[in-house]
Amino acid sequence: MFQYTGYILAGVGGTVAITVAAFAIGALLGVPLAVASRSGHRLVRWPAISVIEVLRSVPNLVWLFLVFFGLPEVGIRLGPWATAILTLGVTSSAYLAEIYRGGFSGLGQGQWLASKALGLTTWDRGRHVLAPQLARVVSPTMATYAISLLKESALASTIGVVELTFRGGLVSQRTGDGLTTFVVVGVVYLLLSLPLAYTSRRVDSRLRAKFSVG
Amino acid sequence: MGPDRRAGAAFLEASGVTMRFGDHVAVRDVTLSLARGEVVSIIGPSGAGKSTFLRCVNLLEIPEQGSLRVGDTSLTVRPGAKPREKDIQPLRRKLGMVFQNFNLFPHLTVLRNVSLAQERVLGRSRAEAEARSMSLLDRVGLAGKAGAYPGRCSGGQQQRVAIARALALDPAVMLFDEPTSALDPEVGAEVLAVMKELAGEGMTMLVVTHEMAFARDVSDRIVVMVDGAVVEAGEPRQVMSDPSHPRTRSFLSAVLGR
Ligand SMILES: Nc1ncnc2c1ncn2[C@@H]1O[C@H](COP(=O)(O)OP(=O)(O)O)[C@@H](O)[C@H]1O
Ligand SMILES: [Mg+2]
């Protein structure tokens, strides 16, 4: 089986690509979603909250199948890669929006009052006061989410995306050695997530040494 | 040079300010004016609406109605018509504010705390802003803390930084909301000393305070608020030794313990 290790490792790129792309989409789309979900206007807030709840309540696997097998029936046809990246990206935006929301409420109202009293514009308050503190508050939770998204990316194998897990499946069928094959696949996921967890801890404790927020 | 008290010489004027939270009237038709260089203390029991009134003055709270003027900049808020940010800005720029909880930006060093708004609001260059910040930090005795984060400063130091941060924008009037209430008395004294110096230099100041000694010794006038309204105003000694309103009397006997 070990002669196939190289074939399995060739899936790392695909797994990382799905994770990074979906995370980037989610991190970006999550910002307007989080802001809208805290809006003072009901007509803005309610749709945003509904979108977040719907996205989070349906399993990612069901979303993937819906997009991959369902949308072609209404004429929208996406390839497996595009389906995986867009679907996981959009559902991530809901989870990340919730993480941002949590960060917002952790920041004291005093920060907002003080920056207003200084005459900073809404943009400057967001850019120089809110965002940096928010980044500090939410980055550990975001790193945790990135690790879970890395694992969720394995779902893409079910719609034929040839990434790590898909390759593991092929190898185990070919060799009949599912045990060794999926231990190798599991170890690869572990090795991918460890540096993420380590870096996040390091960055967090370094920032914590300088200042704490909220 | 004492405050300019000629009739009609009001420099800060708030009139008919009313603020409601739901059904609760937090500030009830309050009218107050300060001459240039005058120091006025607002005292009164907790929940009287002192903080809310102060926040109405620089429009951190938008009052239900009322008129505000500082120098030649004015704004009138009518019921149901929320003023726009760009109408609020000119008034706010003339007012510096210091909060009970300091509210320094924890992610910025002391120097950056004092410099940020100078650069973003006044358009000063970084070098220009930081030079001004250093001279103000020096003045409040904290030049040595310029590179520190607020979390590494004591409460009294943080509040002095907050004063420098507000002064850095060259306000015409300084608003203080119980600046020493979150501090131990000895530490509060450092802050009061800075405020006293500022008053001595002719700064116009509106100070919500529980420090009766400051109200009596530093301010030109005391205003007493109870249940959202001004019940009494006058010379500090007169208000403190011979209050005319029963609520002032009971408030004073509670805080002065007599
Ligand atoms: N954001 C708010 N929402 C609702 N009620 C408030 C709010 N801020 C203050 N109040 C109420 O308004 C009244 C005046 O409060 P405040 O101005 O803080 O009084 P003071 O500063 O004199 O202690 C209090 O009854 C308080 O509960
Ligand atoms: Mg108060």
Segment A47-67 shows an average pLDDT of 97
pLDDT greater than 60 at residue B8: no
Q: If we measure between CA atoms, which residue out of A127, A139, A131, A130 comes closest to residue A205?
A: A139
User: Mean pLDDT throughout A111-136?
Assistant: 92
**pLDDT value for A135:** 86
Query: Which own/partner pairs from A172-179 qualify as long-range (CB within 8 Å, at least 24 positions apart)?
Result: A174/A4, A175/A1, A175/A4, A177/A1
Mean pLDDT calculated for residue range B106-110 = 96
Residue A41, min C-alpha distance to chain B (Å): 15
What are the pLDDT digits (tens) for B208-236? 999 999 999 999 999 999 999 999 999 99
**Residue B199 CA, ligand 1 centroid: distance in Å:** 28
Give, using CA atoms, the residue closest to atom 14 of ligand 1.
B49
Q: Which two tokens stand for residue B77?
A: 């808020």
A24: which residues sit within 8 A by CB, 6+ positions away?
A89
Residue whose C-alpha is closest to residue B1's, from B234, B181, B200: B200
B55 CB within 6 A, ligand 1: no
Interface of A with B (CB under 8 A): 108, 110-111, 113-122, 124, 128-129, 132-133, 136, 210-213
> Is there a contact between B116 and B108 (Cβ–Cβ < 8 Å)?
yes
pLDDT of the residue at A206: 80
Question: Which residues 87-126 of chain B have a CB within 8 Å of chain A?
Answer: 89, 92-93, 95-97, 99, 101, 103-107, 116-117, 120-121
Task: pLDDT band for A1, please (50, 70, 90 cuts).
Answer: low
Query: What is the token pair recorded at A164?
Result: 């790590």
d(CA B94, CA B244): 34
pLDDT value of position A103 = 87
At residue A212, the pLDDT reads: 72
| Shortest-distance Cα residue to atom 4 of ligand 1 | B21
8 A C-beta contact, residue B91 and residue B75: yes
pLDDT (tens digit, 9 = 90+) per residue, A18-52? 999 999 999 999 999 999 999 889 999 999 999 99
pLDDT for res B144: 96
In B, minimum Cα distance to A213 occurs at B106
What pTM value is reported for the model? Answer: 0.84
**What distance in Å separates the CA atoms of residue B125 and residue B237, rounded to the nearest whole number?**
46
Beta strand ranges found along chain A (DSSP E) = none
pLDDT of residue B146: 97
The whole-angstrom separation of Cα B179 and Cα B182 is: 7
Return the pLDDT at B199.
96
pLDDT score, position B88: 95
Instruction: For chain A, list the domains and their CATH numbers.
Output: 12-162 (1.10.3720.10)
Domains in chain B, start-ordered, CATH in brackets?
A: 37-49+88-256 (3.40.50.300)
Q: To the nearest whole percent, how much of chain A has pLDDT over 70?
A: 99
- Is the pLDDT assigned to residue B174 strictly greater than 80? yes
Separation CA B17–CA B63 (nearest Å):
7
CB contact under 8 A, B105 and A108: no
What is the pLDDT confidence band of residue A108, given thresholds at 50, 70 and 90? confident
ipTM, two decimals, is 0.91
In sequence order, what are the residues at sequence separation of 6 or more whose Cβ sits closer than 8 angstroms to the Cβ of residue B40? Answer: B32, B34, B205, B206, B207, B219, B220, B221, B222, B223
Highest mean pLDDT of the ranges A120-129, B78-87, B116-125: B116-125
Residues B79-88 pLDDT 10s: 988 999 889 9
CA nearest to B148 within chain A: A210
A16 has a pLDDT exceeding 90: yes
Q: Which residues pair with B35 in a beta bridge?
A: B10
Report DSSP letters for B216-255, one per residue: HHT-SEEEEEETTEEEEEE-HHHHHHS--SHHHHHHHHHH
Interatomic CA distance for residues B158 and B109, integer angstroms: 11
**What mean pLDDT value characterizes chain A?**
93
Q: What is the pLDDT of residue A136?
A: 85
- Average pLDDT (B63-86) is 94
From the list A110, A115, A213, which residue is nearest B107 (CB)? A213
Residue B51 forms contact with A (CB below 8 Å): no
As a whole number of angstroms, the distance between CA A29 and CA A87 comes to: 12
Residues of chain A above pLDDT 90, percent: 78
Asked whether the beta carbons of residue B105 and residue A118 sit closer than 8 angstroms, the reply is no
Nearest CA in chain A to B87: A119
Task: Say how many residues make up chain B.
Answer: 258
The per-residue pLDDT of chain B, averaged, comes to 94
Residue B50 near ligand 1, beta carbon < 6 Å: yes
At residue B3, the pLDDT reads: 58
Distance CA B11, CA B32 (A): 11
